[in-house]
Structure formats: C-alpha cells, structure tokens
A = this chain, B = another copy of it.
Amino acid sequence: MNEYSSKLLELAVGELSRLPGIGKKTALRLALHILKEEEVFAENLGSSIIKMRKEIVFCKKCNNISDADTCEICANHKRDENTICVVEDTRDVLAIENTAQFNGLYHVLGGIINPIEGIGPNDLFIKHLIERIHHEDIREIILALPATVEGDTTSFYIYRLVKEFGVNVTTIARGVAVGDELEYTDEITLGRSILNRLPFENSMKRS
C-alpha cells in the first residue's frame, strides 16, 4: 500500500510540496481542501497556474511581469523617465508603488547575487541595465535592494558597473522604521541611522 491510499493524491501532494514553504503536511491539507471543494475550484486553480506560466511575458525594458511586451509602467509617459529604481523582483515594485512616493521607472533584476544558491550576475537582468543607460536618458539610478549581505553585494556590483557612465547612483535610506522604539532597534540599524543623520528640515519633507 502506498503512503496516501491513492496515487492521484500522492502525486498532487508531491507537486504541491515542491512550492517554497510548503511541506508534506501542508500539501496534504491543501490537497484535501481541494478535494472537498467543487470540481470547478480545482479547474480554476490548476488552469490559472498553467495559463499564467505559459502566457505571461516580461517587459522588454524593465523585466517586470507583464501581459504585453512593454509593461504599463514603462508605457506610461507621465512617469519620470530619467530615474530608474533597481529592485529584486515584482513584489518590490508593488511595495514601492503602494507608497505613492516614486514616479520613475523600474528595473527588475529577477533576483540578487547569492553565491550559496549559485546565483551570479549573469543569471540576473543586469546587462540590460547597462544597455538602458546607453539608450535612454537616465540621470539617477536608485538601488532599492534588500538590506542583507546579498543585497549589499548586488548593490556594490551594480554601482561599480554603472559609475563610469556618470549616472548618479543612490540607495534607499536605512534607519529606524517609522513607529519603532529606539531601544528595540538592532545596533547596526541604529548605528547606520546615526551615521546617515540628515538635517531636521529634510526629515519633515513629504513628497
């Protein structure tokens, strides 16, 4: 007897547990839920996954997920085409768009340099950034990568590549999060926030 009393169940649990953060027990719970729902539930779920993977495209310009060759942000001429914000993936685009504080364009790397996971600069959408600098009128590149060793490595790598083109390279501010108590902020963050202190009038700015 196989572990799950049904080969079909075993197969679905196996596939679901390949997803990140989903173990065998969670996968089984999900599969049993799908079995309890109407057949149309499984059909919608399954076909939306297959259709998305098959038909989705990445914006030729910024590599963001898109339904067309050029994404809606790149195609929007009301946006500031001189400023590019470099991010790790689509989730970061969504997060920054939600702040309503940025009106430039994006450049989605599709990951960050991570030697342990075998991800090098060539696996990322970095070369295309250089091409954009050649062909577009870019004045500022904002590095908005994770505040981790891998994020800092990637930022430094891109900085070294682009500085020769005379583009202004900035990075998003690291510091005490809004609403945080100083005593609970870790030393490195607090230290950086002191080193990178700014004139009080600037801190009151709301764009």
> How many A residues are at the interface, by size bracket?
35 or more
Q: Is A66 within 8 A of B18, CB to CB?
A: no
Q: Is B56 within 8 A of A52, CB to CB?
A: no
Which residues of B sit under 8 angstroms from A44, Cβ to Cβ?
15
Which residues of B sit under 8 angstroms from A39, Cβ to Cβ?
53-54
Q: Is A190 an interface residue (CB 8 A)?
A: no
Which residues of B sit under 8 angstroms from A89, Cβ to Cβ?
32
- Give Cα distance in the complex from A53 to B8, angstroms: 9
Which residues of B sit under 8 angstroms from A76, Cβ to Cβ?
1
Copies of this chain per assembly? 2
Q: Is A103 an interface residue (CB 8 A)?
A: no
- Give Cα distance in the complex from A91 to B37, angstroms: 17
Which residues of B sit under 8 angstroms from A90, Cβ to Cβ?
4-5, 9, 28, 32
Q: Is A29 within 8 A of B20, CB to CB?
A: yes
Given contacts A45-B16, A46-B50, A47-B50, contact A56 B9 (CB under 8 A): yes
Among B12, B52, B66, point to the contact of A5 (Cβ < 8 A). Answer: B66
Among B33, B43, B65, point to the contact of A19 (Cβ < 8 A). Answer: B33
